[in-house]
Amino acid sequence: MYGFLISFSLSALDWAVIVFCAMLIGMSKTGVPGVSMIVVPTLAIIFGGKPSTGILLPILIMADVFAVVYYHRHANWKLLLLALPWAFVGLFLALWIGNLVDDEQFKRLIAIIVFVSIGLMVIKDYGYKKEFKANKWWFAALMGITGGFATMIGNVAGPIFSIYLLAMHLNKKSFIGTNAWFFFIINLSKFPLQALVWKNIHLNTLVIDILVFPAVAFGAWLGIIIVKKTSEKAYNWFVIIITVLSAFLILI
């Protein structure tokens, strides 16, 4: 096992960062908003653009399981069924584009989507008006396609789908539960596509994912605790600042 683990040329610092990222993913799936935005550009720096999505996806699925188990009774399936078909359209569009670009272009796509998603986070947190109603099919289509594309290219569809759910005036538990089921279904669907088409999920990457599972579990537990005690406004601004810096780094 040691032989193929060192084939990634990972330093002790790299491993520490990967474990920390796994913990953040667990936290993000159990209610700490936006924290996974830090993980995406960070792993892209360590592994490269497309390879990093192969490392990240199984970690996301592990965290999705914790979120679905904890919030499974609170999903709004009507909203899920409105958005999911369109999300698959965006997913397959991104799958096609991902085969047309090299790794540097892929990293730039991730960075662009990260910046757009940060903008959406700001709109969601500081520009959203409760009187806005978006119960039209075209809104579900727009959010679904955009979210599907963003999750396939860089696993950064969280802010996009959050806007869709917030516009539907869901309470907190319904919001988290619907979000959990959406990404669990989408991420499971992405797994064979990335493994067979992009070929960035294989035995070596899965071993890394398995090794960081305890960090995912700890993060999921920690997220449930932190979300009850931390100021969301202050925390979101911290996430936005760190994410902007990380996204700039992957463009260097």
The residue type found at 75 is A
**CB-side exposure of 183: number of CA atoms within 13 Å?**
36
The residue type found at 27 is M
Of the candidates 206, 208, 228, 218, the one whose C-alpha atom is nearest the C-alpha of residue 66 is 218
Question: What pLDDT is recorded for position 190?
Answer: 93
Domain encompassing residue 101: 2-249
160 vs 100: CA distance, rounded Å: 24
What are the residues whose beta carbons fall under 8 Å from the beta carbon of 215, sequence distance 6 or more?
19, 20, 22, 23, 26
Question: pTM of this prediction?
Answer: 0.80
Q: What is the mean pLDDT of the chain?
A: 81
Structurally, the chain folds into a number of domains equal to 1
Of the candidates 92, 83, 85, the one whose C-alpha atom is nearest the C-alpha of residue 149 is 92
From first CA to last CA, the distance across the chain in angstroms is 33
- What does the DSSP 8-state code read for residue 198? I
The residue type found at 6 is I
Which segments of the chain have a pLDDT < 70? 1-8, 33-34, 103, 114, 117-118, 120-122, 124-135, 227, 230, 232-240, 242-252
Question: What pLDDT is recorded for position 236?
Answer: 59
Per-residue b/e over 31-67, b at no fewer than 16 CB within 10 Å? bbbbbbbbbbbbbbbbbbbbbbbbbbbbbbbbbbbbb
Is 26 within 8 Å of 153 (Cβ atoms)?
Answer: no
Alpha helix ranges (H) inside 30-132: 36-47, 49-71, 77-98, 103-122
Q: Report pLDDT digits (tens) over 89-98.
A: 999 998 888 8
Question: What pLDDT is recorded for position 132?
Answer: 47
